[in-house]
Each structure stands twice: as C-alpha cells, then as structure tokens.
Structure 1
Amino acid sequence: MKWFACELHTHTLHSDGSQTLGELAAGAANLGFDAIALTDHNTMSGLSGKAEIEQKYGLRIIPGMEWTTFYGHMVTIGLSAFADWRQANRDGIDEGIENVHRFGGIAGLAHPFRIGSPACTGCFWEYEIGNWSAVDYIEVWSGTFPSIQTNNRRAFDLWTEKLNEGYRIAATSGRDWHAQGETDDPISVTYLGIEDDAVAGNGNSTALSLHEEMLIQALSEGRASITIGPLLTLTLAAGGAFYAIGSTVPTAVERREAAEEPIRANLTLDFSVRTGLWSLPNQVCRLKLCSNLGEELNLEVPYSSDGQMMQLEAQLKESAPHIPRRWIRAELWGTVRGVHVLIAFTNAIYFEEGGYSR
C-alpha cells in the first residue's frame, strides 16, 4: 500500500476564499501534499485550468463542491457533473446524497459540530439522516490544530458512535482552507492508501500518476489515516492473509483464528513523511488499539526527532461471543504544544460478523 498526503477541504475566490486555484496548488505543494480536493461553496467553476495547474505544481486536484445550506454543509468530491444542492431540506438530505452518488461522487458531513447561526449560518449539522449507510465519510477534524477543538472531539465521537452501531463510514480531516498565509498551528493530513499494483501499473508512485478515481475509491472504501505528524498504519494478519485499513475480516477467518491462532495486529509509524513540515517534542507517546469493545491495547512508544520508521506487533484477544468485535483502529496519543492530544489515528478495519455491509 502506498500512501498519498491529501487535503480534502479547500476554497478559492470562486466562493468565499481569497486565493486562486494556482495559489492554492502552490501552497499545497509547498506543504507536501500529493492531492487536494477543491470544494468551493455551491459551485465547481473554480476548476478552470485544472489540468495545467496540476502539471505545473505536480499534484492531483480532485473536483468537488461543498453543499452550503441553512441546515448543514456537506462536502462532495469526485462528481462527474453538478449535483443540485438547492432542493435539499432538513429531512431530505438522503435524496441529495443519492444524487451525488448518481453522478459518481461521494459525500461527507463537513465540520458537523462547528458553531452555527449567527456566527456561521448553516455550519452546524441539522439535517435528519434516515440512511446512515449512504454516508461515505465524516470530517472529524476541521481547521488547524484540530485535535484540541471541542467541536472536532464531538465529530470524532459521532464517528465512533456510528462505527459501534455497525455502519462503515470513513473519517477525514479538512483544513477548510480559504487563504494563503503562514500558520504555526499543526496542520492535519488525510493519507489515502492506494494498492501497490494500481500505482505500479502507472509506472511510478508520483501524485500525477494517480487517477482521481483511485483517490476517490480509496476514501470511499475507508483506506485513510489521519495525522498532524507521523503516518500511522495498521494491518491485521489472520488465516494466512493480511487485512488493511478499510477492509473486512471474514467471519470464517475470525472464527478459525479464535479457535486456532489469534489475529495479529501489525502497526507502523512512519516519522519520515513530509520531512521538515511538522514537529513533535521528544517524548514517550501512547499507541492504542481501540474498538467497539473498548481499549484493547496501550503501548508506550518513545519518539525522538531522528526517528524514521517504527514497527510493532500485537495479538488481539478473542472477543466474547455475545459482544462481537465490529471494528478496530489505531490511535497515537502524545503531547503537542504542552497539551495531551490525539496525534494520529487510522480508519477502521471491520469484522464481517459484527457489522453491516454497505
């Protein structure tokens, strides 16, 4: 699996941003991003000149649009055509999501717990979702230094709640980037995972070798890891096979492994990503495995700024028959700016017996 650094929530002067697409792309390239999604409010006109700008700055630009209404903001990416947002009402967002899917796009809740009116009309999510299985992702981290913000913690908790209920929904971060400018705040990155053979088929692993559809499919399938620092990844080894982030461990494998050989978790921390563009103080971090069963693992992980790659292995305990394991994810906790925060987390690996199919 190759991982590509993405920023999935941006704006230009075609809505309420103060930057051109070229300025946005230049800023993203300087921050080590491989791809960005342009998600202007209620318009896709800002994509003009996209191909030339991609070539100039060496990154992929994914077409998108942020549905901006009185009842919430919904980020949509990968659309082949304009999906009309104007018909959505408080109890009709399900139909809007269906329209996005009809045009080949995916849809996610943007900053669902950000303060709403009168400070930010429509920013707080008020839509009544009837079919949560149609929701592709939730933007659980919004803005810079997102892990200290209360509204983001609420969004993270919402995502966890839906995973516990059996829904397979991805989590993302988004800066909601409106303008160029220096910031000392930690910047979050959504890494999307592309299968090695898909990248190899293009002859190289550069951002421009990627088709937009690869990145959209990766997010749709939950192959994502979120961080304000190192890249954290997780795979499970069971029955002679490996299961990556976003995949599902079949029931037969889980039962066989419980009886014969425990499932093993393989965790990797890559401290070499986006070198020089983030920093952490030297410290002992906590690496956790969390699931609907609670905290299943808690390890001390020493971090120093000269670290490059760290790999760990752990054994999963057998889950109780009456409380099946639905999902599992990895989390890295530590100190940033003197505050104990979540530094990085993976999307989930699912278990067939304990969850719904999408």
Structure 2
Amino acid sequence: MRWLACELHTHTLHSDGVQTLEELAAGAAELGFDAIALTDHNTMSGLAGKESISNKYGLFILPGMEWTTFYGHMVTLGLSEYADWRRADRSRIVEGIQAVHRLGGIAGLAHPFRIGSPACTGCYWEYEVKDWSVVDYIEVWSGTFASIHTNNRRAYALWTDKLNEGLRISATSGRDWHAQKTTDEPLSITYLGIPEGEETTEEHLIDSLRKGQATVTIGPLLTLAISANGHNFELGSVVSSQLHAKDLGALKASVTLDFTVRSGLWILPDQAFKLILCSDRGQELEREVMWSRSNPKDPIRLSGLPLTPEPRKWLRAELWGIVHGVHALIAFTNPVYFD
C-alpha cells in the first residue's frame, strides 16, 4: 500500500477563508501534503482553475463542499456535480447523504461536537441520523493539536460507539484550514492508502476513504495488517470467520511505524511510546516502542503479534506518547473488520 498525506478540510475566500486556492495549494505543498480537499461552505466555485494549480504544485485537489446548516456541518467529497444543500432537513439528512452518493461522492460529519451557536452557527451536530450505515466517515480530529480537545475526544468516542454497533464508518482528521498562518501546534494528517500497482487518481483517493484505507497521525505513519491462515488483511478489509476458525493460533497482527514521513515537518521527543491494539472487546494488546531521532531511518515493524480467537467486530492500532509535554494520542488507524 502506498500512503498519501492528505488534508481533507480547507476553505478559501470563496467562503470564509482568507486564502486563494493557489495560496492554499502552495502552503500544502510546503507542509508535505500529497493531496488536499477544497471544502468551502455551501459552494464549489473555489475549484475554478484547480487543474492548473494542481499541476503547478504537484498535488491532488479533491472537489468537495461543506454543507453548512443550522443543525450541523457535513463535508462532502468527490462530487461529480453540485448537490443542493438547501434541501437538508433536520429529520431527513439521510436523504441528503444519499443524494451525494448518487453523484459519486461521500459524506462525513464535520467536527460534530464543536461548540455551536452563537460561537459557530450549526457547528454542533443535531441532525437525526436514522440510518447510520449511509454515513461514510466522521471527522474525529478537527483543528490543530486535535487529540487533546474535549470535542474531538467526544467525536472519537462516537466513532468507537458506532464501530461497536457493527457499523463500518471511516475516521479522518481535518485542520479546517482557513488562512496561511504558521502554528507551533501539531498538525494532524490523514493518510489514504492506494494499493501497489494502482494508479493514483482523485477517484482512487475518494474510494480509499470510502473503504477505510486510512490512518491518522500528528507524527509517524502507523499502519496495521492482520494475517489469517496465509491471507493478509489491510486497513478497511474484512477478515472472514471461516479463515481463522480453522486454526485457533492462526490470527496475527502486524504493525508498522514509519518515522520518516514528512521528514523535518513535525517534532516528537525521544521516548518510549505505547502501542495499543483495541477492539469492541476493549484493549487486546500493549507494547512499548522505543524511538529516538538518532535511530536508523528504517520503519519499525512489530510482526506476529498474537490475537485471541474470540469473536470481535473490528480491530485498530493506537500510538500514545508525550507531545508538547502532554500525554496524548499521537496516531490511530482505521480498523480491520471481522465478520
């Protein structure tokens, strides 16, 4: 799997941003992004000229729009044409999401627990989602140094609850980037995976998020894979119960940590990180991972981690450690699922 660094929530002066699309693209390129999504509020007009800007700065610009209403904000990505947000109704948001799907796009909750009106009109999610299976993803980390904020912890818990219910919903981060301002706070990155040998296109990136081939970090790239009786399952894949039921000791996890990604654009102190594998059954495994900036640049691989044969719905990896003097979640993967 090839992993592309993505920023999936941005704005220009076509809504409430104070940057042009070219300024946004230039800033994204300097920060080591491979792709950005332009998600202006209730308009797609800012995408004009995106092809030439994309070529100039060597990054993908995904078409998107943030549905901005009194009852919540929803980021839509990959639309083939404009989907009318004005038809959104508090009890019928599922119909709005289905309209996005018909146009080839995906839809996710934006910052669902951010303080709402009057501080941010409609930022707090109040829509009645009668069928959560239509939701493609939840933006669980919003803003800078996202993992320490209470509203993001609530969003992360909501995502976990939905996974526990058996739903397969992806999780992302989004800076909600409005201006070219420097910050010392950690930036969260959503990495989208493209299978080796597959051409990278806007459509493939959208499909990767749709499938849950995504991992989120403020530092190293964290990935997870499951092996069962000679079969390998990466993020977003589904492990069949028939595969590992034949051999109770056949289920193994492999985790890779790559500290070389976006080299020089993030800083963590030398430390012993805590790697956790967790599922709907709770915490299943914990390992200490030592790292220092003087280490060789090869990725750190932990292979053959044993998993019990008990039934589970999903499994993800989390990396915990010290950031800016705070113990915080540094990275997490989307799940590998189990049927």
Which residue of the partner structure matches residue 133 of structure 1? 133
Which residue of the partner structure matches residue 56 of structure 1? 56
Q: Deviations over 1:161-202 (max 9, x none)?
A: 000000000000000000001100000000000000204xxx
- Structure 1 residue 65 corresponds to structure 2 residue 65: yes
SS at 1:277 equivalent: coil
Deviation at 1:256? 1.7
With structure 1 as the length reference, what TM-score do the two structures score?
0.93
Which residue of the partner structure matches residue 220 of structure 1? 210
SS at 2:123 equivalent: coil
Distance in 2 between the 1:254 and 1:137 partners?
28
Alignment-mate amino acid for residue 335 of structure 1: I
Alignment-mate amino acid for residue 249 of structure 1: V
Deviation at 1:305? 1.4
SS at 1:197 equivalent: coil
Deviation at 1:79? 0.0
Deviation at 1:262? 2.7
Q: Contact 2:245 / 2:309 at 8 angstroms: preserved in 1?
A: no
Q: Deviations over 1:281-338 (max 9, x none)?
A: 011110000000010011111121134210002110121xxxx200000000000011
SS at 2:171 equivalent: strand
Number of positions where the alignment pairs a residue of Structure 1 with one of Structure 2: 336
- Structure 1 residue 300 corresponds to structure 2 residue 263: no
Distance in 1 between the 2:286 and 2:104 partners?
40
Q: Deviations over 1:68-109 (max 9, x none)?
A: 000000000000010001011110100000000000000000
Alignment map for 1:167-246 (pairs within 5 Å): 167-199=167-199, 210-246=200-236
Which residue of the partner structure matches residue 340 of structure 1? 327
Distance in 2 between the 1:256 and 1:79 partners?
43
Alignment map for 1:47-196 (pairs within 5 Å): 47-196=47-196
Which residue of the partner structure matches residue 252 of structure 1? 242
Return 310-319 or 109-118, whichever deviates more. Answer: 310-319
Which residue of the partner structure matches residue 287 of structure 1? 275
Q: Tell me the percent identity.
A: 65
Which residue of the partner structure matches residue 309 of structure 2? 318
SS at 2:275 equivalent: strand
Q: Deviations over 1:21-47 (max 9, x none)?
A: 000000000000000000000000000
Q: How well do the aligned residues superpose, as a CA RMSD in angstroms?
A: 0.7
Alignment-mate amino acid for residue 26 of structure 1: A
Q: Contact 1:4 / 1:193 at 8 angstroms: preserved in 2?
A: yes
Alignment-mate amino acid for residue 271 of structure 2: Q
Q: Contact 1:262 / 1:317 at 8 angstroms: preserved in 2?
A: no
Alignment-mate amino acid for residue 295 of structure 1: Q
- Structure 1 residue 20 corresponds to structure 2 residue 7: no
Q: Contact 1:79 / 1:104 at 8 angstroms: preserved in 2?
A: yes
Which residue of the partner structure matches residue 206 of structure 1? none
Return 304-313 or 265-274, whichever deviates more. Answer: 304-313
SS at 2:197 equivalent: helix
Distance in 1 between the 2:77 and 2:60 partners?
13
Distance in 2 between the 1:130 and 1:306 partners?
51
Which residue of the partner structure matches residue 273 of structure 1? 261
Which residue of the partner structure matches residue 205 of structure 1? none
Distance in 2 between the 1:292 and 1:119 partners?
35
Gaps of 5+ in 2: none
SS at 1:301 equivalent: strand
Alignment-mate amino acid for residue 293 of structure 1: R
Q: Contact 2:227 / 2:250 at 8 angstroms: preserved in 1?
A: no
Distance in 1 between the 2:224 and 2:247 partners?
18
Distance in 2 between the 1:303 and 1:8 partners?
29
Q: Contact 2:77 / 2:106 at 8 angstroms: preserved in 1?
A: yes
Q: Contact 1:25 / 1:53 at 8 angstroms: preserved in 2?
A: yes
Gaps of 5+ in 1: 200-209, 353-358
Return 182-191 or 301-310, whichever deviates more. Answer: 301-310
Q: Contact 1:140 / 1:173 at 8 angstroms: preserved in 2?
A: yes
Distance in 2 between the 1:214 and 1:188 partners?
22
Q: Deviations over 1:38-76 (max 9, x none)?
A: 000000000011000001100000000000000000000
Q: Contact 2:229 / 2:250 at 8 angstroms: preserved in 1?
A: no
Deviation at 1:239? 1.5
Which residue of the partner structure matches residue 2 of structure 2? 2
